[in-house]
Structures are given as structure tokens and as C-alpha cells.
Amino acid sequence: MRNRRKRKSRRFIKFLFLLFAAGGCWSLYQWRHSVRDMFMMSSEDAYDKYIYVAAEKHNVEPALIKAVINQETRFQPNIRGAAGEVGLMQIIPSKAVTDWAVAHNVDVPCDGVLFRPQVNIDIGTWYLKQGLRRWCKYKYYRELALCQYNAGGSWARKWAPENINEPFMEKISIGSTKRYVKQVMEKYRNYTAENIGKSVKQQ
């Protein structure tokens, strides 16, 4: 009789142990995913202050700047592209940075400076603004500006429609640029719906 009670007691203890172990594993799983989500959120929002400052300075929508950064580097500031692109907005020293330096009558900054998020976002936003200004009369001026940012002004001119109100996406002959524009615009609409920059304004 006592042995039977002991066996029942042991089984009950094992059951409780397994129950607590399962609960602990589930809690650990939830904690790990919560930490991951918090990290992803903080990394994506880490540069909102610089984005909003550049947006105000150059009169560019902060949601569009953020969408470009998302597409270019997923908010990783130390990336160097295969063609020499630098930093968050993948600006090219021999093109975008040089144009910016000439316009401001300053020397081209060294790469170490260009990797700094505030500098990189400021120059990248200035360069993006050149395309927005160039195509401002077109209905799809954002898309044309993104074509210019990604593929260059000569390609954007080839793809621009004769009628300023006509869509032109099907005319884009470079597949990677077509995907780039579509993905940036999708993120832009998402960020616009989220009203990014709102928290920065209140700081």
C-alpha cells in the first residue's frame, strides 16, 4: 500500500516538474521573441530624429526618406555597397556626395564622416530632393525621383512619360530598379499611415 502511494506521489511530482518545465520553455520563447521585436523596433526607429531634421531642412517627406533607408540598408549604418555606396542611404562619394559638395562649396567628406548617420541622411536627403524637384510636375514624381536615385538621371529621363499624368512603371527596363521603386513606395505608404516623425516632433 505504501509503495503504491509512493509511486503515485512520484508520478505526480514528475507531472508537476514537466508542467513547470513546459511553462518555463514557453515563457523563455515568448521572452526571446519579445526582445527580438523590441530590438527590431528600436533599430528601425533609431534614426527618426535625423530623418525628421533632414526632412524639415530639405522639404522632403520623412516617410519617403525612411522608406529609402529601409530599402537601401534596413537601417544598418555601416554598410558599403559593391559600387562604393556608403552608409544608411548608400550615397556614392563620386556622384551624390560630390554633387552635394559642389552645391555647398565644400570639400567632399571622407568615408569616415559619410558613415555617420546624421551626415549620411542629410546628404542622401539632399540628393533625393534633386530628383523630387526635377520631376515635381509629374503625377508620379516620387516614383521618377526614386528611379533617378537608384539608376541615375539618364535612365529616369528615358522612362518618364510624355504625358505628365500617365503612369510609367511598365516602361522601367531595369528589373532591379522596378522592384526598388515598388518596394520603397509600399514602405512609404506604410510609414505615411503610421505618421512617422510624429514622436520626433514632440521631443
Nearest to 117 by CA among 67, 61, 79, 64: 79
Whole-angstrom Cα distance, residue 173 to residue 171?
6
Whole-angstrom Cα distance, residue 60 to residue 36?
31
**Cβ count within 10 A of residue 61:** 18
Question: Is 72 considered catalytic here?
Answer: yes
φ, ψ dihedrals at 91, nearest 5°: -80, 145
**Which residues have CB under 8 Å from 109's CB, separation 6+?**
97, 101, 119
Catalytic: which of 61, 72, 85, 143?
A: 72
Residues classed as catalytic: 72
